[in-house]
Structure 1
Amino acid sequence: MKLDPVTQVTILELSEAQARMDGLEARRQSSPERAELTSLLAERAALRTSTARSRLSARDLGVDVKKLESDLDKLRRREDEDRRSLDHAEDAEVRRDLEHDLASTRRRREELEHHIADVRDIRDAHEINVGADSDELEDRIRLAEKRVADADLDMQAQVDGLKRRMEELRGTVDAKLLSRYDKITAETGIGVARLDGRTCLSCYMELDASTMRNFETLPAEEVVTCPECSAWLVRPVTLNAADEANKR
């Protein structure tokens, strides 16, 4: 296929503009600002999960505390009843049984009081954990979002400039040729690239000497393709011819 050098350089510029746009999008997705925001959002999700679990645990422990306190009240009442009974008991065996029951009840009451105190401490710890550090984290997220927005704004300005230039270039290219360019770009990723020495700047493969010798025999108007990736290659001779044509 033959194309005048100026047209070849035009579609080369179009292809390179698309590649720069793709590079900007890749940079936008992998920018340090976005990585920081992603990390903070993951931290917030983990905190929300932890908060939900702590809230549920605190609620369950609150129910446990109420039940234990009810059991404690029963032991205290039994302890009081044993003391009152002892005050009036005269039979030695009855007194012995009451004293044994009183000692046992007192021991169980003291153990339960310690257990309730421990459960309360655990419940309070879960309540403290509910929403802990969330305000500070939200401030960090807002700051990270602003940094991402600022970085995106700068990149978007570059993308918008490239889009405008691509529209200008597409407006100068024949519709059928543009359709062929779009097709090969969809197939190869980079449809048109420079030939830098022996290297195809689409697939970055080094072409063999036989292919290079064949290219050297062809006029500047001849469109050559990379034998590795099938991209159209714009050779230095074509670039020089386009420069000369633009100077006229």
Structure 2
Amino acid sequence: MKAAPADQKRLLDLAEIDSVIDRLAHRRRTLPELAEIDELAARVARLATQVIAAETEAGDLAREQAKAEGDVDSVRTRAERDQKRLDSGQVSSPKDLASLQSEIASLNRRQSDLEEVVLEIMERREAADAQVAKLAAERDELAASRGAAEDRRDAAFAEIDKERAEAQERRAAVAGGIPADLLSLYEKLREQFGVGAAMLQGGRCLGCRTSLSIADLNRIKSAAHDEVVRCEECRRILVRTPESGL
């Protein structure tokens, strides 16, 4: 392939712009905020699951407490009814009177036992409610931290995208001045190797950092100025300049 030396040198400008674009893309993919957001999202999800479990336990205890309190009320109502019968003097038979007094005593003991159960459930429920509040507060704090990290990510994305758009404009201007066949070869090599063209400096390819052999340097030295030469190691286009050492 033939191309004017000036057009070949434009490939170095294009390669430099492409390097900037690649660095911006890498920076966008590897922003520290991305890993931070993923970690925070995972922690928020775990805490959300723990909150649901704690809320379920607290709900079960609330229902258990309501049932126990209902049992206390039922026993208390029966005891109060029996006490009224006893106090009214309606029961005159000694046997029935003793039976009624025994039932009242039994109901009072039952009520006392049930009230102990209620107190125990209330303590457990209070602890469960406190755990729900603690976990929910941690979840909300982490969610806020994730939101802040997302804001930082979005700000960084906006900055990177702006720089990339500016670089793309510069690239289009440079690429527009390069012959189509030379540009096509450059793009093909860039797709294969990441870099399509590199400077030959001091007898070394700056693309693969390899020092060329004497034979290769003589071959390139004897090539016409408009001939497009390639590095034998990395196959990139070698752009000759006064710094090439030929």
Question: Is 1:111 equivalent to 2:116 in the alignment?
Answer: yes
* Structure-2 residue corresponding to 1:245: none
Q: Distance in 2 between matches of 1:20 and 1:179?
A: 20
Matching residue's letter, 2:28? R
Distance in 1, matches of 2:37 and 2:136, equals 20
1:35-85 deviation digits (Å, cap 9, x = unpaired): 555555555444544444444444444333323322333343455567678
- Corresponding residue for 1:17? 17
Instruction: Provide closer, same or farther for how the CA distance between residues 153 and 6 of structure 1 changes in structure 2, counting only shifts above 3 A.
Output: same
Q: What residue number does 1:156 align with?
A: 161
State the partner residue of 1:69: 69
- In the TM superposition, what whole-angstrom CA distance separates every residue of 1:183-204 from its partner, at most 9, and x where no partner exists? 22222222223345576544x4
Q: How high is the TM-score relative to the length of structure 2?
A: 0.70
Q: Is the 8 A contact 1:82 1:101 kept in 2?
A: no
Structure 1 residues without counterparts, runs of 5 or longer: 243-248
Task: Check conservation: 1:193, 1:200, Cα contact below 8 A.
Answer: yes
In the alignment, structure 2 segments of 5+ residues that lack a partner are none
Q: Distance in 2 between matches of 1:41 and 1:192?
A: 43
Output aligned runs, 1:91-170, within 5 Å.
91=95, 94=99, 98=103, 101-102=106-107, 105-106=110-111, 108-125=113-130, 128-129=133-134, 131-132=136-137, 140-141=145-146, 143-170=148-175
Residue 27 of structure 2 is aligned to residue 27 of structure 1: yes
Deviation at 1:172, TM superposition (A): 0.9
Which whole-Å CA distance do the structure 2 matches of 1:226 and 1:82 have between them?
108
The SS at the match of 2:242 is helix
TM-score (norm: length of structure 1): 0.70
Moved more, 72-81 or 21-30: 72-81
| Closer, same or farther: CA 76–112 of 1 in aligned 2, 3 Å | farther
CA distance in 2: counterparts of 1:99 and 1:64, whole angstroms: 26
The 3 A distance-change label for structure 1 pair 110 and 175 is same
Aligned partner letter, 1:232: I
Give the superposed CA RMSD: 3.9
| Cα distance change on mapping 1:59 and 1:239 into 2, 3 Å | farther
Task: Give yes or no for contact 1:14–1:170 (8 Å, CA) kept in 2.
Answer: yes
* Bigger CA radius of gyration: 2
SS class of match (1:168): helix
Partner of 1:223: 228
Residue 143 to residue 109, structure 1, CA distance change in 2 (3 Å): closer
Hey, what does 2:216 align to over in structure 1?
214
The count of aligned residue pairs is: 236
Q: 1:239 aligned to 2:241? A: yes
Partners of 1:93 and 1:141 lie apart in 2 by 71
Q: Give how far 1:153 is off.
A: 3.6
Q: Tell me if the contact between 2:202 and 2:243 (Cα under 8 Å) persists in the aligned partners.
A: no
SS class of match (1:240): coil
Partner of 1:6: 6
